[in-house]
Amino acid sequence: MEGQWTWGREFQHLEPKRQEYRNFRARCTDPDAFHTLFDSELIHLDLLLEGVAAPRPEILSLLRHEPSALPVQVARQVENYRSGLDLVRSIAPEPFALSWPEFLQNLHGRIAAGLDARAGHFRQEILAPLAPAHEPVEPGSVSRAIENMALWVSAPSFTDLHPVQRMTLIFARLFEIAPFSTHNLQTVKLGASLYLFHEGFPAPLLGPEHHELFFQALNRAFQFVTQDLVSLFTQAVERGLDQSIAILKQENLKL
């Protein structure tokens, strides 16, 4: 039911850019080249969010299967993240019959492959709080908490929300649950982007200048105050649109 969400003033400016992005995507003759260029920026920024410095040119070389100076461990993270992106994009056209526990386990299995011995499995240990207001779910309750989240994700009151709102609420709840021992931030951010992709938006781009605001807003979301996080993701989605449009306008993509 694309386009049937309830618009708020804070989202209205996104629609012309979303339509421009979709129009350019429809005319692009080399979508793989577009994804490679966009993903190099997305992966660069999302790894920075976790304190991993990977220069974008080196990420781009790796994604193009060219020589790259990235350390082996960092290169593995880049390749895993790209694999996770591929999974989410493959599901995005029809996400409604999704089993969220299975989806998240499959996604984490890709993102943490070769980096975590329990890749693809929910954590079995108590996790330290990830923010001052964070109270992680008990290990034995992780799967049930995700299933409960899936119930309200499918409710009409939720599907009527703008995709950025949906993404934000899913992100906050999943990060609060913290399903895995490692790589929760990458897994949750990608998984929560599913409905953005479905509605024709690219992934949000969070720059390093917004890291402090992001974690402050996330902490407030754990206290049921989500507007700051919604606003931050709205800006990040707009940056994703701007970056995507700029890439798609390049002559080498033969528009």
pTM of full prediction above 0.85: yes
Helix intervals (H) in the chain: 9-12, 14-27, 31-49, 56-63, 72-91, 100-111, 142-153, 156-159, 163-177, 184-192, 194-198, 211-221, 227-248
Q: Assign 131 a pLDDT band (cuts: 50, 70, 90).
A: confident
**Whole-number pLDDT of residue 96:** 84
Q: Assign 213 a pLDDT band (cuts: 50, 70, 90).
A: very high
Q: Please give the structure tokens belonging to residue 52.
A: 């991993």
Q: Is the pLDDT of residue 3 over 50?
A: no
**Whole-number pLDDT of residue 251:** 53
Q: Is 210 helix (H, G, I), strand (E, B) or coil?
A: helix
Average pLDDT, the chain: 92
> In percent, how much of the chain has pLDDT > 70?
95
Q: Please give the structure tokens belonging to residue 251.
A: 């002559």
Q: Is 8 helix (H, G, I), strand (E, B) or coil?
A: coil
DSSP string, 183-197: -HHHHHHHHHTHHHH
Rounded distance between C-alpha atoms, residue 183 and residue 11, angstroms: 30
Q: Is the pLDDT of residue 255 over 50?
A: no
**Whole-number pLDDT of residue 171:** 96
Q: What is the pLDDT of residues 36-85, one digit of tens each?
A: 999 999 999 999 999 999 999 999 999 999 999 999 999 999 999 999 99
**Whole-number pLDDT of residue 230:** 96
Domains and CATH numbers, the chain: 10-253 (1.10.3290.10)
Collect all residues with Cβ–Cβ distance below 8 Å to 44 and sequence separation of at least 6: 54, 55, 56, 59
